[in-house]
Amino acid sequence: MFRRLLVANRGEIALRIIRACLELGIETVAVYSQADCDSPHLRYATRTVCIGPAQSKDSYLNMDAILQATEQYECQALHPGYGFLSENALFAERCQRQKITFVGPPPSAIRLMGDKLTAKQTMKAAGLDTIPGSDSILASVEEAQAVAREVGYPVLLKATAGGGGKGMRACRDEDELRRFFIEATLEAEKAFGNPGLYLEKIIQGGRHIEFQVLADAHGHAVHLGERECSIQRNHQKLIEESPSPVIEPKVRQQIGEQVVAAMKAIGYCNVGTVEFLRDPDGHLFFMEMNTRLQVEHPVTEMVTGVDIVKEQIRIAANHPLELRQDEIILNGHAIECRINAEDPDNGFRPDPGTITAFQPPLETSSGTVRLDTHVEARYAIPPFYDSMICKLIAHGQSRSDALRTMSEALAQFRIEGIHTTTRLHQQIIATPEFVAGHYDIEFLQRELAVAEEVVTT
């Protein structure tokens, strides 16, 4: 096992990794930007080091500064968390060259799955169904229109190097496709340095389903079931749950076995998430793969009892997986709400500022509550980074138990001094559609549109 590990991230995920290392007996070095010099997670690290100014490009994306800190403090390993450099193949390669273990898949896997179109082709060859669309990068708007006519409108333009909704445009007809093609190309070039686009048919009423996988360097791989991530705004997830309300056990087994076989076929190692879009008929189509720890990993941990971060670190240290597929049992149900420092009543404008009061949920009547956060009272949220400040997770023996627990927890949760999405989450989980499990990826968009109509009439 490693003696010392550098945590190349910030906020709640940095604290999550530090805690896993503490339980594994690993010393940690936490990096931070000048804007994060007072971040509470720094108290728990063995050592801390400032790596640059507030802007991400000068700090958390500064490969030279991070690798220099790793060398300076004689770290054997580096955990990238999520976001920032977690899916950067060049960074993983540079870690390799400096004899630092990158806690994640090898650079070749990051590169293979990081190109969304190549990933689609690879998984199709491995036996997974893919969404109808283009098989290569679109050379022109005319080619895009030809593919769209073949698969049928509406269609979605997607950046081949993309993620987080950037370089993505929904098109209802040829006029929109022509107009949005240039927009998406320019946005993809700016965001990823790669203007390449491909096209997929939009599946109306689709649901976002993803399977969590673990694979070691010794040919072993398992899946930890699925997560439902269909409550989204602008392609950003807000609420996740596991298991999905619409995935039957036989489907879970079938898709899980296909995913594990695909991981073995491409020689994947470490943690990964395979994302699918489920159509109203129950058919699952591969969308993309994330070669990192997911934000929403706690819901899977709550229902399986598997500490995914610890498993990541053990696999990176070349330990064989001790988990067997038949030992992984889904126990109960878990729901996660991502609490953002945003004002839902003002276009979801980010609302950084000082938290004047912070009172987490204390106790609920029907289940277990987990809070993953790095914030506290009197903490000043910097304006330079993602607006998520905590993840609230509720677990119950049934979905209704988990919902009741989450409802109680959100009602108890008190954050003052800033606007948050807490009230929005309360509203969402109380809707009849969510309670019944009858929702899709357009659900929140429809709900927000209705709420806006009510306000303006």
Map out the domains of the chain as residue ranges.
Answer: 4-103, 132-201, 207-456
Dihedral (C-alpha) 244, 245, 246, 250: value to the nearest 10 degrees?
70
25, amino acid identity: G
Is 423 in the active site? no
Decide which of 3.30.470.20, 1.20.1440.60, 1.20.120.1200, 3.40.50.2000 is the CATH code for 207-456. Answer: 3.30.470.20
Mean pLDDT of the chain: 96
- Catalytically annotated residue among 278, 292, 314, 338: 292
Per-residue pLDDT, averaged over 95-102, amounts to 98
Contact 266, 112 (CB under 8 A): yes
Residues of the chain with pLDDT > 90: what percent? Answer: 92
Per-residue pLDDT, averaged over 18-33, amounts to 99
Q: Is the pLDDT of residue 373 over 80?
A: yes
Q: Which fold has domain 4-103?
A: Rossmann fold (3.40.50)
- Looking at the DSSP bridge assignments, the partners of residue 335 are 241, 394
pLDDT, position 150: 97
CA 188, CA 181: separation in Å to the nearest integer? 11
Contact 407, 429 (CB under 8 A): yes
pLDDT, position 454: 44
317 DSSP 8-state letter: T
Place of tokens 């939009």: 202
Q: Is the peptide bond before 361 cis (omega within 30 degrees of 0)?
A: no
Q: Is the pLDDT of residue 383 over 90?
A: yes
pLDDT, position 452: 56
Confidence (pTM): 0.94
CA 11, CA 337: separation in Å to the nearest integer? 17
pLDDT, position 162: 75
- Looking at the DSSP bridge assignments, the partners of residue 33 are 52
Q: Any idea which of 15-24, 106-115, 219-228 has the lowest mean pLDDT? A: 106-115
Question: Do the strands 101-102 and 77-79 form a parallel or antiparallel pair, or are they unpaired?
Answer: parallel
Angle between helices 63-72 and 89-97 (to 10 degrees): 30
pLDDT, position 457: 41
Q: Is the pLDDT of residue 46 over 50?
A: yes
pLDDT, position 235: 86
pLDDT, position 10: 98
pLDDT, position 453: 52
Per-residue pLDDT, averaged over 189-215, amounts to 95
Per-residue pLDDT, averaged over 329-337, amounts to 98
Q: What angle do CA 391, 349, 161 make, to 5 degrees?
A: 70
Domain 132-201 is classified in which CATH homologous superfamily?
Answer: ATP-grasp fold, A domain (3.30.1490.20)
| Distance of alpha carbon 98 from the chain centroid | 28
| Distance of alpha carbon 159 from the chain centroid | 18
For 56-67, write each residue's pLDDT tens digit: 999 999 999 999
